[in-house]
Copies of this chain bind each other. A is one copy, B any other.
Amino acid sequence: MIKQVLIGIICGAAVLTAGILIGHFGITKSSSSAPSWVTDVTKDVDESLIEKFLSEVDNIQIQENLRELTKVPHMATTKGDEQTVQLMLKRWQDPETGLDKAWREEYLVYLSFPDPKNPNKVTVVNQSDIPYAAYSPAGHPKGKLVYANQGKPSDYQLLNQKVDLRGTIAITRYGGAGRGAKAINAAPYGVIGVLVYTDPLDINDGLMSDTNETYPHSWYLPPSGVERGSFNGQYGDMLTPYLAAKDDTYRIPVENITGIPPIPIQPIGYEDAYILICALGGEAAPESWQGAFNCTYNFGGPGFKPTSAFADSDVKLDIFNSGSLKNSSNVMGVIRGSVEPDRYVIYGNHRDSWVHGAIDPSSGTSVMLELTRVLGRMVKQGKWRPRRSIIFGSWGAEEFGLIGSAEYTEQYFAKLSERTVAYINVDIAVFANATLRASGMPSVQDVIFTAAKQVAAPGLDSTSVYDNWIRYSNRTSPNNGIIPKLGFLTGAGSDYAAFVHYLGITSMDISYTYDRSKTNARIYPAYHTAYDTFEYASKFIDPGFLSHQAIARTAGNVLIRLADSLVLPLKCSDYAETLDEYLNTAVSLYENQLKDREISMEPLKHAVASFRSAAAHLDHVIRTSDLRNETPLQVRKINDQLMLLDRAFLDPLAFPDKYAYRHVIWASSSAGKATFPGLADAYANAELSNDSQDWEKVHYHLSVLSQAIEGAAQTLQDVI
């Protein structure tokens, strides 16, 4: 009986235990168990997915993309441009490898074209194709030729001391001054027309023979190559400042456009420039004005040497350009985010070219198409969906002044400002195949480094893109030791401009570029000419497309990390390091003289110190917190601090004379100092004029700057 009881108790205990186990592990709790979303919201970037992405990026696909994209010239709003629109849409809407959604968005924008029935002419010389200077006025100026070097203000000033410039035509070489500036600087002296050409010194390392030196024998520009470009002074559609250029949008009168050439200007090839310049009379120009032609560059009599074939001929420009409103398209594509669809990582490049545009911009577009093919397939197969949304933009009419991207940011200003984590720009993906080049806000340095360390350098299997990069370009960072040198995005060189300067979105620009020990070319020699073709690119820029592949892998890696990381990979202490350097430069350049004028730099020092300490604190919080086990709102709080950091540097009133420049740290500057741009410019201006009102402007800008940096520091501090 006792035994039976014992057995009964033991069995009962066993059954009870079994029951407890079943009850505990076998049945899902409804009330207190974790909701299914807990795992999703705390998930971090998946390194194996990045491996997979890197292995799937294919150089031959990129090559074939480029071949397809460059079949016909695709200048903005032409038939060729429309073909590329259709190509992008087809790829991004592909059921196997496309994105969640893709569509086109049109803007009615003001462009400038030559007249096909009346090709622009430069008499004395003749031209075969129709290159032109976009936004040059039409006109038929005729006058004696003079040589004005690079068309800088100082060039015309010197030239004017030698020659009466009234009624002359000036020939200038590219470089040194903005395109339009060469004409704008000329007009006050009475110059009535301008020519611009590419000197072999600046683009071809001096070489100029098309029988054995230039393309197709090398990457150098042949004598007939003409560099085109937009000769305007601000970015975005010029008739609709700050407004998206929709059909009914208010447009300023064309005559109110500022910053474009007031007199006709025309680009020519150096074969023509050679004939003209070597025939010029007058005194010899200074050494620094001399180019690669085998003759002395004279100022001009004005006009030609009496002994030359042209003797006292005039040069006549017949420019038939005209402005017109055209529909330009952006092609947009998205992959919806799974956890934070309201956070955007934007990746973009322009689609339009001047002629075939193999390198500019189709190298970048080929890379973008390969990225979207690999990512799109993972999405379509259900293998991946990013935490945050990804937006791809194929911008229109960049060549005319970053128009498509600027109009996009104007139209969606609020939404993009509120939600965009970062913008990645890959325009010319490969300038040359030597090394990575990256520019951006300092906070993106770390994620670019991480990505570059995971990608093999093209042609160097055991060296990473990062290790290769550090050999070509490096600096010593107080925080990080010797590291590759990241550039800054201080100008409006590509479609990042509106994102950086107008919206204050953390941005970067990524490419492969030159070995500067091998060339001094201003840029790859076929830039903006009819020679920028698939053949040129595949033979002389990146045979095998391995540098394209490296860019696709690096930029794609950055993209995935920005889209998938639990905590945004943006490092604010790297930003602080740059502000510190800017401050040190400013103090050493300006403090003494400002003290004499009772303008204190203490508020700026205080602001940078606040920023430094707030950034260090936030970095520390990120490093030491177990954020995967924190509430997702705690992570979101930190991510919002990181995402919105650059927005805090915006002040729409900081640069009243610079269109759409609002970022007080990165605005363009003419002072040429490695410090805060508005301060440097205001100081240079005051120093020049020594006008007390100009010194007050220095004080004003110091206050603007200090307030913005203090405000940014506030956003990094503990939130309350």
Cβ of A198 within 8 Å of any chain B Cβ, yes or no, is no
Do residues A414 and B648 form an inter-chain contact, with CB atoms below 8 A? yes
- Chain B contacts for A41, CB-based, 8 A: 631-633
Instruction: Please give, as numbers and ranges, the residues of chain B lying within 8 Å of A699 by CB-CB distance.
Output: 250
A17 at the interface (CB under 8 A from B): yes
Interface bits A329-365 vs B (CB < 8 Å: 1, else 0): 0000010110111101000000000000000000000
| Bound-complex Cα distance A719 to B243 (A) | 22
Contact A339 B633 (CB under 8 A): yes
Shortest C-beta distance, A123 to chain B (Å), equals 41
Once the chains are docked, how many angstroms separate the CA of A590 from the CA of B145?
Answer: 56
* Residues in B whose Cβ lies below 8 Å from that of A336: 720
User: Which B residues are CB-close (under 8 A) to A240?
Assistant: 703
Asked if A715 is an interface residue, CB under 8 A from chain B, the answer is yes
B244 close to A414 (CB less than 8 A): no
Contacts of A633 in B (CB 8 A): 41, 339-340, 632-633, 636
Q: A483 CA to B170 CA in the complex, in Å?
A: 74
Does A52 sit within 8 A of B, measured CB to CB? no
Residues of B within 8 A of A710 (CB): 411
A561-587 to B contact mask, C-beta < 8 Å, 1/0: 000000000000000000000000000
> Copy number of this protein in the oligomer?
2
Q: What B residues does A33 contact at CB under 8 A? A: 29, 32-34
Task: Judge whether A158 is part of the interface by a CB distance below 8 angstroms.
Answer: no
Asked if A475 lies at the interface with its beta carbon under 8 angstroms from chain B, I say no
Min Cβ gap A18→B in Å is: 6
With both chains docked as a complex, state the minimum distance between the C-beta of A172 and any C-beta of chain B, in angstroms: 35
Chain A contacts with B in 308-344, Cβ cutoff 8 A: 334, 336-337, 339-342, 344
Q: Is residue A418 within 8 Å, beta carbon to beta carbon, of the partner chain?
A: yes
Does A700 lie at the interface of the complex (its beta carbon under 8 Å from any beta carbon of B)? Answer: yes
A640 at the interface (CB under 8 A from B): yes
Question: A35: CB under 8 A from chain B?
Answer: yes
Q: Which of A33, A415, A630, A644 has the most CB of B within 10 A?
A: A415
Q: Which residues of B contact A17 (CB under 8 A)?
A: 19
Chain B CB within 10 Å — which of A35, A636, A696, A720 has the most? A720
Distance between Cα atoms of A12 and B630 in the complex (Å): 43
- A170 and B75 CA atoms in complex are apart in Å by 69
Q: Which of A32-80 contact B (CB under 8 A)?
A: 32-35, 37-38, 40-41
A600 contacts chain B at the CB level, 8 A cutoff:
yes
A246 CB–B CB distance under 8 Å: yes
New A-B contacts (17) at CB < 8 Å, excluding given A23-B23, A23-B25, A41-B631? A11-B12, A12-B15, A20-B22, A22-B23, A23-B24, A35-B629, A37-B631, A240-B703, A248-B603, A250-B703, A339-B633, A342-B640, A414-B644, A414-B647, A414-B712, A414-B715, A415-B648
Closest 5 CB pairs of A and B: A19-B19, A23-B23, A414-B648, A20-B23, A23-B24
